[in-house]
Amino acid sequence: MSQHVRPLYELRDEARTARARGELSRARDALWGALQHTIAREEEYVALTGEMREVLALQGDMRSALTVAWYAGTEQTQRPLLEHVPPIDRARTLLAWADRETSASRQQGLYAKAAEAYEEAGLVAQAAIARERGQDFERARALWSRLAQILSSSGADFYAAGLSRFNLARTSLRTGDTAAAREAVFSSVHLLEEAADRYETIGQRERAFDCYQVLIAIGRESSVFEHVLEGYVNVIRILREDHLRYYALQSYEEAVAAAEKQGETSAAATLSREMAAYARKEGLPMVANFAMLTQARLWQEVSTMALRRGTPPEIAENALLAAVIALGEAGQYHKVGDVYRALSELPLEESRRKHYGKARARYLEAQDLTIDASPLPAQLRHEVGFPEVWHVDLVEWEQAGSASQATGDVVLDPGQWSEVTRRRAMLARLTALAIEAQEEKGGASRDAPVLYATLAEQLSAVELYTILSPLERLFRRPEASVRGAVVRALSRFLYKRTFITVRDALVDADPTVVHEARKALEELRFPHAFDPLARVYREAQSQQTRQSAVRALSKIDTFEASELLLGIIRHDGSEERAAAVDALKKVRGMKFIDLARGALPELTGAPQAAVREILHDRGVSV
């Protein structure tokens, strides 16, 4: 993308003059320059896309013309182009029409046509999704079955295979075939567990997280609480390990509610106990108190249900004793006395009943402490729905890193993405289409590396998670200049998945790519980047890479990052210590300062001098 963009009005006038003279290439170049003004007013930008569409159509570049028409065009402007583009572009256009159609009958027809076009393009997953949207679950089920068989036989991608089996189970349920649904659920769970294990083994916990989220959805769809519980336990574990405490506490609340709804009251009480301990550790006493009181209530319900079922009274006794502990920790002493009364009334041996009666007497005059007990406050909640990864991730798998497809999805979704984001995606798609046209002719042109690097730069401006896959594919190019451009682009994508490619770049054969990767590493600083950054630090053979990881870690103001940095100052080499000292003197976070002040009396020699230097430069008296 050019660093110097001429004024929009100048470029537009040039394009109109060139077109009037029949100089279409010059008109196209001028309009291309005008479209770089991605922050222009909407009405101006829409007019530009209309003019560009007309020029591209006159040149016979129908795929690009349709792309531009997607931005603000209508069915009227898009329809004449459909017969001149490949099935994948027809399918995507028809799907967008169907999504915004208000007539139910016409909408179903459009979804059906989109599905047919996707099938013609060989895109089975996207065809099945279109059938589902059109409520044609019989045909959707057949497509998911076909895809599941293909993936299961290949054995290459457990995650995609598990998702396809889950979609088969969903559609089987909707068509009334419960036996097929049960079989598909069993296969899906097995495949997703296998995929999660593999992802965790190679350090891709965010992908394992998706597997566990799908397990929750499978459990809800199939009404099998075991899958729901397995999913939530692992989701919470990963969130806690990534230090996303508010997400973790929200997931605890959801898990407790799910368990209680399924009648799994003991599991709900156990989860509440774990939630209370975690909230207290994270310095959220009101949430911890809320969880303790919830736990006490649930244990009392366990006792009541046990007595109703006629189970041995010792089960009810153990549940009530757990409630006593919870209420005691929360300072609810009057309520403790009430529970001891319930214990004294259980059909137990006389000596135990007397013991509980005496315990109750000690609490007759006791009062409950006034405590702040409330769930996670609204301002700390993250009201974002979990995406349907059983669709989203299969679409990504099927697109196989195609930049033209990923950006096309963005351009066609004005409801989800901003005008500027869609404009940037449109420009990237136009470049991607130019590259595809060259590749189809066979052999790369001399300027191909420049085009690939330009595409990476354009993709970086989109900054959406869905763009990671095209960048990952671009990184596999043989040209070092392209790989370097990809790594520069990745520095703007603050996702854990970004580290997968950056780690590969850190050991690239080309030193310029390694240099770009180290620079990118220092930009990837966000709270849940701690784990991958720590892993880079531990595993890197290069001193410079370790220093870059240290600089990035210094900008993460969490206890875990601070503890690691203090450990580096205490125990690691002088180069790493120097990098940590230099970086920590420049940041503003206070977690390291608090930790270092407490540890200072125990330090000696160079580590103590290093910490004193940091504290002095930060203006902290010791």
Q: Note whether residue 20 is domain-resident.
A: yes
Q: Note whether residue 342 is domain-resident.
A: yes
The residue out of 343, 375, 407 marking a domain boundary is 375
Give the domain extent around 344: 285-375
Question: Considering its fold, how many domains does the chain have in total?
Answer: 2
The type of residue at 367 is Q
Residue of 244, 207, 214 lying closest to 232 (CA atoms): 214
Q: Note whether residue 219 is domain-resident.
A: no
| pLDDT value, residue 245 | 84
Cβ contacts of residue 401 below 8 Å, gap of 6+? 469, 470, 472, 473, 474
| pLDDT value, residue 590 | 87
Q: What is the CATH number of the domain that holds 53?
A: 1.25.40
What three-state secondary structure class fits 78? helix
| pLDDT value, residue 430 | 97
Q: Note whether residue 593 is domain-resident.
A: no
Which residue is it, tokens 């036996």? 179
The residue out of 375, 398, 419 marking a domain boundary is 375
CA distance 56 to 246: 50
Structure tokens at 489: 């682009």
What three-state secondary structure class fits 368? strand
The residue out of 62, 85, 108 marking a domain boundary is 85
CA distance 303 to 314: 9
Q: Note whether residue 138 is domain-resident.
A: no
Report long-range pairs for 580-586 (Cβ below 8 Å, ≥24 apart).
580/550, 580/554, 580/610, 581/610, 581/613, 581/614, 583/550, 583/551, 583/554, 583/555, 584/554, 584/614, 584/618, 585/613, 585/614, 585/617, 585/618, 586/554
What three-state secondary structure class fits 558? coil
Q: Which helix (H) or strand (E) holds 528?
A: none
Which residue is it, tokens 């990118």? 520
Q: Note whether residue 78 is domain-resident.
A: yes
| pLDDT value, residue 620 | 82
Q: Note whether residue 168 is domain-resident.
A: no
CA distance 28 to 24: 6
**pTM to 2 decimals?**
0.85
Residue 332's beta-bridge partner residues?
368
Q: Note whether residue 318 is domain-resident.
A: yes
Report long-range pairs for 569-572 (Cβ below 8 Å, ≥24 apart).
569/607, 569/610, 569/611, 570/603, 570/607
| pLDDT value, residue 423 | 97
Per-10-residue mean pLDDT of the chain, 622 residues long, equals: 70 94 95 94 94 96 97 92 96 96 94 97 97 97 95 84 95 95 94 93 86 92 91 93 86 95 95 96 93 96 94 95 95 94 94 94 91 85 71 94 96 94 97 92 76 96 95 96 97 93 96 97 88 90 93 90 91 87 89 88 89 88 73
